[in-house]
Amino acid sequence: MKPTILIGNLGPRIFGVKSFHDMQIDVYNYFKGSPYGGFFEGRRPTLYIMDPDIIKSVMIRDFDHFTDRNTLGTREPKYLSRSILNLKGSEWKAVRSIMTPVFSSSRLKNLIPLIQTCADQLVEFLKQYDSKEVDMKQIMGHFTLETISATAFGIRSDALTAEKSQFVKEAEKFNYMPIYKRYFIFFILTFMPGLFRYLNVSFLNMETMSKLNDMLQANKEQRKKTSVKHNDFLQLMLDAAEKEKEHSDSKQPLHLDDGTVDAQIIIFLLAGFETSSSLLSFAIHVLATRPDIQEKLRKHVTEVTEGKEITYDLIAQLDYLEAFLLETLRIYPPVARVDRVVTKPYLLPGSSIKLDVGQSVSIPIYGIHMDPDIYPEPHEFRPERFFKEEKSDRPSHLYLPFGAGPRACIGLRFAMITTKMAMAALVKNFEFKKSENTQHPIQFDKRALLLKANKGLFVRIDKI
């Protein structure tokens, strides 16, 4: 793609002409028909991968050549820099293997009562908006904060009982970035990327991160004083860290030191808050604009759950609800693109192109999801795409809201269980309708990196 001096191919983003998601479709369509294509982010080149077989090689088959994600590599505090998203190579592998059992079926089963309590609180919280219009992104943010603070921190955030709780006020600002900071980061990326290693700069709001970390430290100190064991993510991470200490050689550095444990808790909070609230709010927008699907979903959920206790196995039976959520993520994936960094020299399959260590490759998630050759009539919302028969005919690595391969989202099952339980509670208690401020089709925010509707996701709520 022909670049412009200094800004490369990022003009539409820098000048606020295109959303990041819409830009990925443009790039995908520009290169479609070719297995790959070159793109400049400022002066930095990245290779877009288009061919399904090469995508599979990068994400899964030859993953050992692409183990790392792109990071700024700045002097962020450890509670940010040591998150599983930022760790590289053997360190990432070690921490991932320690964390994986935390998201096992048996662990998730133990969290069901906590999540159900939060879903019930959500229903009560929404009753105050009966027959009113509301922005669902804000409401769902309250729910995901309450759920994650309970399952990760073991604390009440009051997100569903106090309209402006301290926890909510801080967490909502986590990715706010003033315009001058955006241009500063772009300038350094373009002209002096090596300078990042000396700077304490982040894509996240550092003031908010510091306050969230203070809350986490206070919670940890409280636990040390009481010695009470909790059934939450923080306790599981603390136990894993203690176990590693007991079995480690004193000459070897610990993978789960205090800073690394803190980083996993904070990234779990932030990643879960933003992505799950996005999924739920866009899902409700779909219900409001497609009453036929809403009625079908309500009937399905009622038939499966009526008069029964919500359990892990019962949730697994909600197949239409799962298909509905997966289709929502296809059309409205929170992340538009996934990147990988070359960690070992690599020859692209079927070509003479050699990739050197440190070069980056990008996979345009949103372009793939909206490709009519992969998903016929891609703008049509059709949950049946994810029924067994049709799903089995499509390569799994061409559905990427959670990534793919060893570096896929570790919290995938937690996110699906949480959103399923929330949606089940909502459709049984409320009907969602288009309102005066419902924007359809949705226009995406041109400044945001993660998916965001530029005028909110307003619907009318009627209690059933």
Tell me how many degrees the CA angle 257-152-287 measures, rounded to the nearest 5: 140
Q: DSSP letter at 404?
A: -
Q: Cβ of 373: how many Cβ atoms within 10 Å?
A: 7
Q: Establish how many alpha carbons lie within 13 A of residue 307's alpha carbon, considering only the half-sphere containing its beta carbon.
A: 1
How far is it, in rounded angstroms, from Cα 231 to Cα 82? 24
List C-alpha distances in Å: 104 to 96, 111, 146, 234, 270: 13, 11, 22, 15, 21
**Treating both helix axes as pointing N-terminal to C-terminal, what angle do 258-289 and 291-305 enclose, rounded to 10 degrees?**
120
CB 375 within 8 A of CB 367: no
- DSSP E strands: which ranges in 91-183? 132-135
Nearest to 321 by CA among 342, 344, 338, 298: 298
416: alpha, beta or left, given left = phi > 0 and alpha = psi -120 to 50?
A: alpha
Q: Is 409 annotated as a binding residue?
A: yes
CA distance 200 to 183: 16
Residue 264's CB is within 10 A of a number of other CB atoms, namely 28
- Please tell me the distance from the alpha carbon of residue 410 to that of residue 103, in angstroms, as a whole number: 8
The amino acid occupying position 191 is: F
CA 77 to chain centre: 22
From the list 419, 388, 384, 380, the residue with the least C-alpha distance to 402 is 419
d(CA 70, CA 61): 20
Question: Can you say which residues are annotated as belonging to the binding site?
Answer: 409
Question: Can you say which residues are annotated as belonging to the binding site for heme?
Answer: 409
